[in-house]
Structure 1
Amino acid sequence: MVVNNIFFIILAAVTALVLVLLQYYFTNKNKRSKHWIFFSALRFITYFSVFLLLVNPKFTNTTYTLEKPSLALVVDNSSSIKNLGEENKVFNYLNEIHQDKELNEAFSIENYSFGSNFRANDSINFSEKQSNLHQAFSNLQQLYKNKTAPIVFISDGNQTYGQDFTYSAKQLKQPIFPVVVGDTTTYADLKIGQLNANRYAFLNNKFPVEVFVNYSGNSAISKRFEIKQGNQTLYAENISLSQQKTSAVINATLPANSVGVKTYSVSIETIENEKNTENNIKNFAVEVIDEKTNVLILSSILHPDLGAFKKSIAHNQQRSATIKMVDEEIDFGNYQLVILYQPNENFAAAYQQIKQLGLNTLTVTGTQTNYEFLGEYEEIFTKPRSNQNEDYLAIYNTNYSSFQFENIGFENFPPLKDKFGDLNFSRELNSLLFQSIAGYETQTPLIATLEDGNQRYGFIFGENTWQWRANSFLDHENFDTYDDFFGKLIQYLASNKRRERLQLDYNSFYNSGENIVFKAQYFDKNFEFDSRGKLSLTVRNKETDTAQVFPFLLLNNLYEVDLSNLDSGNYTFIFNANDEQLSKTGQFTIIDFEVEKQFSNANFVALQQLNDEVYFLNQFKQLKQNLLTAPEFKPIQKSQQEVLPLIDWVYLLVIMVFCLSSEWFLRKYYGLI
């Protein structure tokens, strides 16, 4: 309380006393001491309280709290823990931690689990089909970047996908206490390691298969390696391995004689007393197709966009791309789609061939485009001549309806560059992306498509899309996200099929343990997206003839259904719009392969890189002692000051009301009023 407030409080008390004396002593002719002293005391309290409210002094209230550090208990919830026979030991270990009084007094225990995803919960069932340790450490880094929180990491250290978790763990600024689950003893083991095969093959061609066989053991062995389709052996050889030669690479070429999804089995004979035989067999599938899309990329200039287009197109094995200069001799009949890059007057002969053959096109404009020529030959849009350039950012159009694609972060991509000026269209285009100029969002297309009879046209109004592909790599650490988007655009433009009201996006085969999600779009008769549809998928297992019905759920502008719980096998399906007589049929295969069964022991070496001191499930007391004795994990006392003005103290108002009421009642009682 400051000196000024003390002075005003004293002044308030003196003023209140003077007023009471004037009112009850000097001006009161009938002074009865036994009454007026009591009345004056009540009046003094009232006056003094009013003056205190006018002064309104402030008081500081300090509270002290003891803040315990967090203890993050992170448990591997993948099925490999159950396969190693360690689930009961893990449950007992968790109970010891949760029921320990000293640990609960010293820490605030927070529970997490991870498999394919990282979750904040303590529901453990060891049923996850994948394990991503990298994602777990990345999430922990975000959660505890500004806190003290030791990490008790309970895992077998076996990761099925994701980046190297030992690197992401080093980025975590928290001490990690790894607890090893599983046997660390190394047993002799022969297994199928990595298997590389194309997802697609073409009819009457041969496709390559690369298989890595790994061996850990002391004695020399010779075992038979086979690749089968059903009961038919397509490839076989004997492989010799030893303590010095621990791996072999088998390169085989298999025939693609019929169309459809073909399932194959790769196996290696087991060795004597082998503990884990699940990893001696691995299944894979290849879809054999009877057509291939050839795309021609036509240009008169050299630009990085050309190479980016080719790589994105070739990302799908069903497609190939060829870059040609416009002055080269070209057989346009070999291509289903032509990408016209920054057309000018040199493209006149090419446009005549395209028109004659009725080919679909994707026109890409830029700073070297001749818009006068384009306006004459395209007859779809015009743009005034300009010597100035403009940057155009992308805005995602949620109402695009020709095919389904997701927003991959277009708003964060670098701008495309094109000639300055307004685009004028003679026909209505369907815009995938709109232009944003200097922060102003327009309805002018940046990427758009158009259907005219059996022909399809695509337009990208700007160069430097190669920067989009590079930016997507930085965001997702691979090119797949951008290449999938561009591939859908190419797939749509290369096809002459009419647009359908019911569209389904799915793969022909999946590995068991993957996220199996079918995505669909449903359009009304005006081909506008209809969010009121009731869509269902009836799935039938070919072997057991059992059927299940799955309803689709609406998510943004997509309908989705999750089939991840289906067992491995061959399935047929019927896709229905229940409100109308619209349906689709198809089939898919789930390959029997559980990656979590490929591990026979814990990855002790990787867990040891998290911390030099590694704990086992029978070393709870040692872990507890290290946690409790570490000085950096002691509770921290924190103080919090709260400034409270007197006017907020409601009891002062109660005192004033009580004094005034009491004085009035007593004066009335004694007949003084």
Structure 2
Amino acid sequence: MAGQTLLFTILAAVVALGLSLLFYFYNSTKKRSKHWIIFSVLRFLSLFSLFLLLINPKLETLELSTEKPNLVFAVDNSSSIAYFKEEENVRSFLQQIEEHKALQEKFKVDYYSFGSQIKKLDTLSFTENKTQITPLFDNLTEIYADQVTPTILITDGNQTYGQDYLYKVKQYPQDLYAVAVGDTTSYSDLKIERVNVNKYAYLNNKFPVEVFLSYTGEEPIQKEVKIELGNSKVFSKKISFSKENNSEILQVNLPANRVGLLSYTITAETIENEKNTSNNTKKFLVEVIDEKTNVLILASYLHPDLGAFKKAIESNQQREASIQLISDFNGSLLYYQLVLLYQPTSAFKNVFDQIRKEKLNSLIVTGTKTDYQFLNKSQEFFRKEIYTQLEEFQPSYHSGYSSFQQPDIQFSSFPPLKDYFGEVAFETAPQVLLYQNINGVKTNLPIIATTEKNQQKIGFLFGENTWQWRSKSYVQQKSYESYDDFFGRLIQYLSSNQCRERLTIDAQPFYNYGDKISIIAGYFDKNYAFDDRAKLEISLQEEESEEKFQYPFILQSHSYEVNLSQLQPSTYTYKVTVEEENIQKTGSFTIVDFEVEKQFLNAHVAQLQKISKDSVYFLSQGEALLNQLVASKDYQPVQKSAVKKSSLIDWKILLGIIILCLSAEWFLRKYKGLI
């Protein structure tokens, strides 16, 4: 209690005593009662308690508590555990942990499972089709920050998805013990590690296929590797392997002789008594097309944006981009499905005249060297105020964009673009995908917008240096794919001469079994605004059995989505319909039978040895590990003290004392006839 509060308390006691005596002892106008001492005490207690409530002193108490160290068990819930037939052994080990009284008394035990996701352990199914271990350590580091938390990792050590966990474990601040699950015996094995192939090929051309093969064994072998299309063999070759020469990269060029989705099978001949033969076969699909989109990039000068545009466009082999300076161009634009005009100047006059005459699709990109005075006169879609001041702005994603489906790829984290300052006024309201964000304030000025008029599609990109967006995308995702897909969607929409449709479907031609399989649909009303009131349904038919399925679409923010991950490998035709509307879309896709979790022969003990604090434990040694944790002096309970402060006003007993004293005083005075 502070000195000032103590002084007020003493003063309150003196005042309460003085008032009580004044009323019952020194009051000369009334006859003093012979029970004045009792009345004075009751009045003193009630007044003093009331004054204490007004002063409201803070009381401090010291509380001691004992905190047990945490102990985390992280269990691999992927299908590879079931493939090794270790499910019951893992469950038995967890039961052993729960029944170990000394362990439970010493530690606060938590359980987590991991596979395709990390979550609190409820039940183990061993059916997850991916194993990613790296995010586990990020989550545990965040949950148990600044706490002693030894971690037991129960896994086969084979990661099939994500960043290598060896690097992440080196940054993990806790002691880590590895318990290996699975067979540790080495077997001879020939397997197909990976197949690299483009999704698309062009009719009457050849497309490259790259096959990575590996061999584990002591004896030299020679086996056939063949590629089949249906029942026809299109390639075969004998390849030799040995203990020293244990890998091979096979590069093949296959002909694309017919249009459509073609299913190929690669098979490596099995070794005698080979245990795992599922990794000797892999399938891949190639869609053969007979048309190509040609894009012309016309520029007033050379800039890094041009190369980024070309690479993003040509990331899809259905498209080809050519870069030319306007000073060197004097040909026809009719060969191209889309013309990209980079920072137009007066030298572009003939090009704009030809675009207007032929109603060609175009994408206008502006920047610091754009002649806006010429541009305002040369096209009829927008006008921009002309200023000499430059400004920088970052993109802000607009989820209401509906011309095509485009998710947010963290646009707000992209570097700023640069252009001239000024308001932009459109003749007709465009669809805006990205707005300008200036100094953290979102404006109504567009960065990327599209519009349609008289069967002509025009796109606008206000700002230069989008090449930095592509680089940032690589830094974030370790791949250019997200940016290239985004720019590819824009190019695909602008280069298409099809009329805008009220129902759009985003589906891949094929999926790997075990990956997330989803189809996204967009539905728009007659004014082409997104309609979130519709009910969409997809009807599926499996090709071989002709079995039929029906699933409803689920409304997302500005799209509809259906998850089909439960489907088995096969080819399916689908029809998407809108309830109470005569609108539908049809298509097909194939789910490729590929289970990455079955590609491993044994536990990756060597990898687990690198991350474990001690030697790697096995399930049969589980009791020894648990006893070691109990006996370890590194993990001891911690006694913590905490000062708890409470206000006197929270004491309900004090209010009771006031009421009791005043009531007793009143009843006694009434009983004695003093009232």
> What TM-score, normalized by structure 2, do the two folds share?
0.96
Spell out, residue by residue over 1:386-413, the C-alpha distance to the aligned partner (whole angstroms, 9 max, x if none): 3221122222222211111111222222
Q: Does 1:336 align with 2:337?
A: yes
Show the 5 A alignment for 1:247-262.
247-262=247-262
- What is the one-letter code of the residue matched to 2:621? Q
Spell out, residue by residue over 1:189-235, the C-alpha distance to the aligned partner (whole angstroms, 9 max, x if none): 11111111111111111111111221111111111211111211111
Query: Counterpart in 1 of 2:97?
Result: 97
Spell out, residue by residue over 1:407-427, the C-alpha distance to the aligned partner (whole angstroms, 9 max, x if none): 122222222111122223223
Residues 603-612 or 541-550, more deviating: 603-612
Show the 5 A alignment for 1:146-545.
146-329=146-329, 330-545=331-546
Residue 84 of structure 1 and its aligned partner are, at CA, apart by 0.8
- State the distance in 2 between where 1:262 and 1:401 align: 32
Query: Counterpart in 1 of 2:75?
Result: 75
Q: Is this contact kept in 1: 2:267–2:280, CA < 8 A? A: yes
- What is the one-letter code of the residue matched to 1:451? E
Residue 30 of structure 1 and its aligned partner are, at CA, apart by 5.7
Match for 2:661 among 659, 662, 673?
A: 659
- State the distance in 2 between where 1:309 and 1:99 align: 62
Match for 1:636 among 632, 635, 638?
A: 638
- What is the one-letter code of the residue matched to 2:657? I
Query: Counterpart in 1 of 2:53?
Result: 53
Q: Is this contact kept in 2: 1:212–1:249, CA < 8 A? A: yes
- State the distance in 1 between where 2:84 and 2:66 align: 42
- State the distance in 2 between where 1:298 and 1:665 align: 103
Q: Is this contact kept in 2: 1:116–1:130, CA < 8 A? A: yes
Spell out, residue by residue over 1:62-93, the C-alpha distance to the aligned partner (whole angstroms, 9 max, x if none): 22222223222211111011001111111111
- State the distance in 1 between where 2:479 and 2:147 align: 32
- What is the one-letter code of the residue matched to 1:336? Q
- State the distance in 2 between where 1:531 and 1:92 align: 50
**Closer, same or farther in 2 for the Cα pair 1:514/1:659, shift >3 Å?**
same
**Closer, same or farther in 2 for the Cα pair 1:104/1:466, shift >3 Å?**
same
Q: Is this contact kept in 1: 2:372–2:386, CA < 8 A? A: yes
- State the distance in 1 between where 2:334 and 2:4 align: 96
- State the distance in 1 between where 2:634 and 2:613 align: 18
What SS does the aligned partner of 2:597 have? helix
Q: Is this contact kept in 2: 1:372–1:382, CA < 8 A? A: no
Residues 197-206 or 529-538, more deviating: 197-206
Q: Which runs of 5+ in 2 are unaligned?
A: none
What SS does the aligned partner of 2:620 have? coil
- State the distance in 2 between where 1:297 and 1:626 align: 68
Match for 2:620 among 618, 626, 633?
A: 618
Residue 632 of structure 1 and its aligned partner are, at CA, apart by 4.2
What SS does the aligned partner of 1:464 have? coil
Spell out, residue by residue over 1:88-146, the C-alpha distance to the aligned partner (whole angstroms, 9 max, x if none): 11111111222322222222222221212222333210101111122222333333333
- State the distance in 2 between where 1:147 and 1:349 align: 71
Query: Counterpart in 1 of 2:553?
Result: 552
- State the distance in 1 between where 2:510 and 2:596 align: 16
Q: Which runs of 5+ in 1 are unaligned?
A: none
- State the distance in 1 between where 2:518 and 2:115 align: 18
Spell out, residue by residue over 1:427-482, the C-alpha distance to the aligned partner (whole angstroms, 9 max, x if none): 33221112233444322221111112222111101111111122222222322111
- What is the one-letter code of the residue matched to 1:322? S
What SS does the aligned partner of 2:152 have? strand
Residue 658 of structure 1 and its aligned partner are, at CA, apart by 0.4
Residues 392-401 or 265-274, more deviating: 392-401
After superposition, the CA RMSD in angstroms is: 1.9
Q: Does 1:581 align with 2:567?
A: no
- State the distance in 2 between where 1:574 and 1:4 align: 81
- State the distance in 2 between where 1:458 and 1:597 align: 47
**Closer, same or farther in 2 for the Cα pair 1:69/1:46, shift >3 Å?**
same
What SS does the aligned partner of 1:530 have? coil
Q: Is this contact kept in 1: 2:176–2:613, CA < 8 A? A: no
Residues 80-89 or 172-181, more deviating: 172-181
- State the distance in 2 between where 1:71 and 1:357 align: 72
Residues 326-335 or 183-192, more deviating: 326-335
Spell out, residue by residue over 1:290-318, the C-alpha distance to the aligned partner (whole angstroms, 9 max, x if none): 11112111112111111111111122222
- What is the one-letter code of the residue matched to 1:234? V
What SS does the aligned partner of 1:537 have? strand
- What is the one-letter code of the residue matched to 2:48? F
Spell out, residue by residue over 1:267-287, the C-alpha distance to the aligned partner (whole angstroms, 9 max, x if none): 111111111111111111111
Query: Counterpart in 1 of 2:141?
Result: 141
What SS does the aligned partner of 1:641 have? strand
**Closer, same or farther in 2 for the Cα pair 1:13/1:390, shift >3 Å?**
closer
Residue 647 of structure 1 and its aligned partner are, at CA, apart by 2.5
**Closer, same or farther in 2 for the Cα pair 1:7/1:397, shift >3 Å?**
closer
Aligned residue pairs, count: 672
Spell out, residue by residue over 1:355-402, the C-alpha distance to the aligned partner (whole angstroms, 9 max, x if none): 454431111000000112212222222224332211222222222111
Residue 175 of structure 1 and its aligned partner are, at CA, apart by 1.8
- State the distance in 1 between where 2:9 and 2:458 align: 85
> What TM-score, normalized by structure 1, do the two folds share?
0.96
Query: Counterpart in 1 of 2:117?
Result: 117
**Closer, same or farther in 2 for the Cα pair 1:252/1:477, shift >3 Å?**
closer
State percent identity of aligned pairs.
49
Residue 331 of structure 1 and its aligned partner are, at CA, apart by 5.0
Q: Does 1:19 align with 2:38?
A: no
